């Protein structure tokens, strides 16, 4: 079955170019010209990947992404003419996995989609490490299972986006290593990311809100000043 991509773009020319290029790559493409249409398509078609513009007519892309994140962890790539760092960070904090600025090369979009597809498949059982206990507190036991693609606290699933899960898994295998932003970009995003390395910081902040008991005082994912990040199981 081909990978399903939902393209949310109100510019007819750009949307058509993306559809033709992605279909040439073997993707099954669904188009939406507005956010409300995209949200309906999300339920009807269950896409594997989403490409969304930030400047939509009925609802801005930030709101659209937040609405998607209410019900889905599907990977999202923003494609936008807005190049200000504030907009990029805001898009990632809304829940996007990646950000591509216009004008763009089609090969850049397809390369990033291929990277996301590899991340969707994940490691084989033989490659994936065993379960990792991140927090051993009996009342808040936190267990990462890379082979099953799950993170559970006290027996209940915690919902992470694909990028958040990959980022946590990279930090956890094995824990205790200091990983720089550049290393995390190369291992988690798996393509030549040409944007601001603070993309890592944004996803770390989002990850902390989900796994730390007190995100303002993180104990699991700690910052090593001037070097990067380290995972310290409790």
Report pLDDT digits (tens) over 30-69: 999 999 999 999 989 999 999 999 888 778 889 999 999 9
The DSSP H or E segment spanning 144 is strand 142-145
Mean pLDDT of 141-150: 86
pLDDT at 123: 54
Tell me the backbone φ, ψ of residue 38, rounded to 5 degrees. -65, -40
Domain 4-121 fold: Rossmann fold (3.40.50)
In angstroms, the CA 193 to CA 61 distance is 21
pTM over 0.85: no
Report the distance separating Cα 202 and Cα 217, nearest Å. Answer: 16
Q: Picking from 16-25, 117-126, 172-181, which range would have the lowest pLDDT averaged per residue? A: 117-126
Q: Rounded to an integer, what distance in angstroms lies between the CA atom of residue 186 and that of residue 113?
A: 15
Residue range 92-108, pLDDT digits in tens: 888 888 888 888 888 88
What residue spans define the domains of the chain? 4-121, 132-231
Contact (Cβ atoms closer than 8 angstroms) between residue 95 and residue 101:
no
* Distance, CA of 220 to CA of 215 (rounded, Å): 10
The Cα-based distances of 19 to 29, 45, 73, 119 in angstroms read 6, 16, 22, 22
Banded pLDDT at 120 (limits 50, 70, 90): low
Each residue's pLDDT tens digit, 189-212? 765 554 567 788 989 999 999 999
- The position carrying tokens 């409300």 is 36
pLDDT at 90: 86
Domain covering 132-231: architecture: Orthogonal Bundle (1.10)
DSSP states of 158-224: ----HHHHHHHHHHHSSTT-EE-HHHHIIIII-S---S-THHHHHHHHHHHHHH-SSTTS-SSEEEE
Round the average pLDDT of the chain to a whole number and report it.
86
Confidence of residue 6 (pLDDT cuts 50, 70, 90): very high
Answer whether 37's CB lies under 8 Å from 53's CB: no
What pLDDT sits at residue 107?
85
Pairing of strands 4-8, 49-52: parallel
Report the candidate in 216, 134, 205 with the shortest Cα–Cα distance to residue 176: 134
Q: Any alpha helices (H) in the chain, and if so which ranges?
A: 12-24, 35-45, 61-69, 85-94, 106-121, 162-172, 181-184, 198-211
């Amino acid at each position: 079955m081909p990978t399903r991509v939902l393209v949310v773009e109100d510019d007819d020319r750009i949307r058509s170019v993306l559809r033709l290029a992605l279909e040439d790559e073997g993707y099954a493409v669904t188009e939406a010209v507005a956010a409300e249409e995209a949200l309906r398509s999300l339920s009807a078609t269950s896409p594997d990947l989403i490409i969304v513009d930030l400047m939509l007519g009925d609802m801005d892309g930030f709101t659209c992404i937040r609405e998607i994140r209410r019900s889905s962890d599907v990977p999202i790539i923003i494609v936008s003419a807005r190049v200000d760092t504030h907009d990029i960070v805001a898009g990632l904090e809304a829940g996007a996995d990646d950000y591509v600025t216009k004008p763009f090369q089609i090969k850049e979009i397809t390369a990033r989609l291929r990277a996301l597809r590899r991340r969707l498949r994940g490691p084989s059982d033989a490659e994936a490490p065993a379960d990792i206990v991140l927090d051993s507190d009996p009342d808040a036991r936190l267990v990462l299972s890379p082979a099953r693609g799950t993170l559970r606290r006290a027996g209940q699933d915690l919902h992470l986006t694909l990028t958040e899960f990959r980022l946590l898994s990279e930090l956890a295998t094995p824990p205790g290593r200091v990983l720089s932003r550049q290393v995390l970009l190369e291992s988690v995003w798996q393509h030549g990311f040409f944007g601001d390395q603070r993309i890592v910081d944004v996803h770390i902040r989002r990850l902390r809100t989900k796994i730390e008991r007190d995100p303002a005082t993180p104990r699991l994912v700690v910052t090593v000043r001037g070097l990067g990040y380290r995972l310290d199981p409790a």
